[in-house]
Structure 1
């Protein structure tokens, strides 16, 4: 399973969180493409072979499409492999704007696109041919979730896992067939405010 790490912390606040050696084996989601500090760390990660996705907020289809497309375009020219479309809507009526955002990213050369509704979507979203995170939430909710609406290879982002249960959470994620995601002991309100105290990243081949 590929580790997907939303790294929502400013490089000046936690420089160690951005060290490439600590992130090898993960795909990192980066916010803040307009800030020079983010440009530097993104370039450094890319140079070290760490895949990077640029963050774009869809706000459950509440943001104007022009703003979303401007954010997608803002990642062009940066060393990112694609975009992470966060807070993706799930209903069939909103699939059109999401499809336009996906198409804009691909036309711009941002070929790796991940949707993050954090919940199962209408089947229409599967036709977009992109990766989908069908769960995002705390460990108690993940245990209660039946997996309904998810498919093999989907992403699962699970936070607030007690350290003693991290291995069990990873096993459950594997059993459910997650293709990518994250298990972290960090909790709300900032589960992705930096590296978890234990980041489950596979050791890269030498």
Structure 2
């Protein structure tokens, strides 16, 4: 399973990073990692203007990232058009690795975009009772706020649920600022 580190979590010191590790960067600029970096673009559930989104795409392309993490992506049929256009224009600019993060299952039309989809992002408590309706094997799961003694159990549950990429972390977007020291994370093996 690929490991994806969202902006609110970063690799723990000493964690071996490899080609199956993606690190999402919040802003273009200094590359803190030689590993696969994805530039984060906030789609604001589809309400951002295409011009603003494309300006972000161009900034990330100039920065040299390997792809994009389209965060807070819309999940309904009404948002497919703008997301599809963003994905196509990013590919024309050489950014072919795209991860959509609506954090919930999407309308089936999103499956035709050629992007990976993160169909769960939420706290450990919600993940434990999540029924997984609308997901497919290989989708991404971002599970945060996992008590440290339960991280291995969370990774195993992700595997049983067919996650192709993701992260189980004791960090939380509500408690840990992006890339703040102390927001340790553990990969989903």
The reply to whether TM is greater than 0.5 is yes
1:124 maps to what in 2? 109
Give the CA deviation at 1:166.
0.8
Q: Say whether 1:2 aligns with 2:25.
A: no
* CA offset digits 1:42-66 (Å, max 9, x no partner): 2x523xxx10001111000111111
Unaligned runs of 5+ in 1: 10-16, 34-38
- What is the SS of the residue equivalent to 1:120? coil
1:98 aligns to 2:83 (yes or no) = yes
CA distance in 2, matches of 1:120, 1:185: 23
| Structure 2 CA distance for aligned equivalents of residues 152 and 138 of structure 1 | 20
- Structural RMSD (CA): 2.2
Per-residue CA deviations over 1:92-147 (Å, capped at 9, x if unaligned) read 01100000110111000011000000000000000101100000000010011111
1 CA distance for matches of 2:173 and 2:52?
28
Residues of 2 paired with 1:23 and 1:77: CA distance? 28
Give the paired residue count.
Answer: 185
Which residue among 10, 13, 33 is the counterpart of 1:45? 33
Cα 1:173–1:201 change in 2 (3 A) is closer
TM-score, scaled to structure 1: 0.82
In structure 2, the residue matched to 1:13 is none
Other-structure match for 1:185? 170
Match of 1:88 among 73, 93, 96: 73
Distance 2:85 2:16 in 1: 31
The 3 A distance-change label for structure 1 pair 19 and 179 is closer
Deviation at residue 74 of structure 1 after TM alignment:
1.2
The structure whose residues are more often strand, as a share, is: 2
Give the Cα–Cα distance (whole angstroms) in 2 for the partners of residues 167 and 21 of structure 1.
17
Residue 19 of structure 1: how far off its partner (Å): 9.5
Q: Does 1:200 align with 2:187?
A: yes
Q: Determine which structure has greater relative contact order: mean sequence separation of CA pairs < 8 Å that are 6+ residues apart, divided by chain length.
A: 2
Unaligned stretches of 5+ in structure 2? none
> What TM-score, normalized by structure 2, do the two folds share?
0.89
Q: Is the 8 A contact 1:120 1:150 kept in 2?
A: yes
Higher helix proportion, which one?
1
Bigger Rg, structure 1 or 2: 1
Change (3 A) 1:101 1:143: same
2:17 to 24, 29, 37: 24
